[in-house]
Amino acid sequence: MNEAKLIACHECDLLQWEAPLREGGTARCQRCGAALYRSLPARFDRALAFTSAAAILFVLANCFPIVGLWVNGTLVETTLFGAAWSLYVHGMWPIAGLVFVTTILMPSMNIAAVVYLLVPLHIGGLPQRPELVLRVLRHVAPWGMIEVLMLGMLVALVKLQHIATVVPGVAIWAFGAVMLLLAAAAVTFNPRDIWARIDSVQSDRGVSYVAQASATADTAARAGLFVCHDCGLLSKPLFAHVHAGICPRCDATLHRRKPDSLVRTWAFVFGAMVLYIPAILLPVMVTSTLFGAQSDTILSGVVYLWNAGSWSLAAIVFIASVVVPVLKILSLAYLAWSTQLRSPLIPRQRTRIYRLVEFVGRWSMLDIYVITILVALVQFGSVASIEAGPGAIAFGAVVVLTMFAALSFDPRLIWDAVEPESE
């Protein structure tokens, strides 16, 4: 069988044949409903244009203020980096590092990787070591959170307008444009097109990758094949009955299932459970004025927005900062528990739960971004100042741990219990 025709679902391991699609169509797994691939024309020029524009605006967004406050005739402004630096100066370096990584470092790496890949394709060539860059891109993408940052800026503006006159900066508009451009680039950029170009070059050089599967095998594991999560290639291990290998196309390390998936998932989930208690009970923000100090928890921040008349934002913050973390923890615990028991019940629904948990994980960062902007702007000495509280560190850790738990969980384990024989 030709590996270009045979594919395996990354979520249930089912072997399937590629089928032609109409332009813009999406092929979904027959068993679990996961998206397998999309049919998009190779619009490298359009993706490069969107990404290049995003790169320029991203630089501008980090050079200009995101928002300012008029206080006693003085305009107080901050950039995104300045906001993260303010947290660092106040001793909240874990939150400062988290903000820097998710809003500056990871988006920068994402943009740089796409430009690096597309520029040689635009001029008719191939980039050097594209497999490494594509691997970096796959791991970086979940941690770039520009869209969550934008929502956090809007919530911060609502809170700041009750303190002083708010002046939206150039950067807030630039970040909005970057968010839209990156979304457009993601729609037109398809890594499968790049792998197809690489395969055609390799084929011209007499190199091909062939994977043979048993006609009676339903899954890649039962057929004795590895599926690469970086490039999608199905490959045969050099030796039978081995559980690890190297992808012949992109040199990625291959495993039949993620190593110690359930152990690592449980460890991250338990850590998130423990830290969620102080994240909710301890103050995430401390406001000091001439009249004393006031500590605000996540729930009191929701109440503040509600009493201020911003009901929609209050609902968004409550869902993102309270409901979503609880549901993520409970869902991941349920998935790990049912999988460890090898339960064959409702595997399709459990896979959908996993998919949803993986998608919503980043939105819990909303409160962290709000706190970052408030701490950077409201520093008026003894008159008024805002500092991040210990609850913010605990909450940031909960967000990171639940994301790691989702990344560690292997949904193919859900479907192993459905198989008539163990792998």
- Is residue 213's pLDDT more than 80? no
The helix or strand, by DSSP H or E, that contains position 400, with its residue range, turns out to be helix 390-408
The pLDDT score that the predictor gives to residue 382 is 57
The pTM (predicted TM-score) of the whole model is 0.89
Q: What is the pLDDT of residue 2?
A: 42
Question: Which are the contacts of 48, defined by CB distance < 8 A and separation ≥ 6?
Answer: 114, 115, 118, 119, 121, 122
Residue 290's pLDDT band (boundaries 50, 70, 90)? low
Confidence of residue 205 (pLDDT cuts 50, 70, 90): low
In the chain, domain spans: 6-39+210-241, 44-203+249-255, 260-423
Look up tokens 């095998």; give the residue.
Answer: 217
pLDDT digits (tens, 9 = 90+) for 361-410: 888 898 899 889 988 888 766 556 778 889 999 999 999 999 999 999 99
| Average pLDDT estimate for 113-142 | 88
What average pLDDT does the chain have? 85
**Cα separation of 305 and 284, whole Å?**
15
The per-residue pLDDT for 325 is 92
Quick check: 68 pLDDT over 80?
Answer: yes
Q: Which fold has domain 260-423?
A: Butyryl-CoA Dehydrogenase, subunit A; domain 3 (1.20.140)
Tens-place pLDDT, residues 349-375: 999 999 999 888 888 898 899 889 988
pLDDT in tens, 19-45: 888 877 888 999 999 988 887 666 778
- Residue scoring higher pLDDT (378 or 84): 84
Is it the case that residue 217 has pLDDT exceeding 70? no
Q: How confident is the model at residue 338 (pLDDT cuts 50, 70, 90)?
A: very high
Output the pLDDT for position 173: 94
Mean pLDDT for 162-181 is: 89
Residue 139: CA atoms inside 13 Å, Cβ hemisphere, count? 9
Q: Cα 192 to the chain's mean position, in Å?
A: 20
Burial 277-300 (b: 16+ CB within 10 A, else e): eebbebbbbbbbeeeeeeebbbee
User: Which pair of tokens denotes residue 363?
Assistant: 């939105």
Question: What is residue 39's three-state secondary structure?
Answer: coil
Could you give the CA distance from residue 231 to residue 237 in angstroms, rounded to a whole number? 16
Q: What angle do CA 140, 43, 184 make, to 5 degrees?
A: 55
Element (H, E) at 55: helix 44-63
Q: How confident is the model at residue 226 (pLDDT cuts 50, 70, 90)?
A: confident
What pLDDT sits at residue 421? 58
**pLDDT for the residue 252:** 85
Q: How high is the pLDDT of residue 1? A: 38
